[in-house]
Amino acid sequence: MATIRPLFIASIGNPSPNYTNTLHSAGHTVLTHLTTWLYSPPFEKSRPYASGLLSPSQDFTLWQSPSLMNLSGKPVATAWRTFLSSLSAPEDKRAARLVVVHDELELPIGKIKVREGKGASAKGHNGLKSVLGALPGMEFTRIGVGIGRCASRESRDVAAYVMRKMTPAEVEIMADVAGQVSEVVREMRRGVR
Residues known to be catalytic: 24
For the chain, give percent helix, strand, coil, nearest 5: 40, 20, 40
Concatenated DSSP letters of 114-152: EE-STT---TT-HHHHHHHHHSTT---EEEEEE----S-
Backbone angles phi, psi at 46, to 5 degrees: -130, 110
Classified as helix, coil or strand, 22 is strand
Beta-carbon count within 10 A of 179 CB:
13
Q: Is it true that the peptide bond before 17 is cis, omega within 30 degrees of 0?
A: yes
Cα 56 from Cα 176, distance rounded (Å): 22
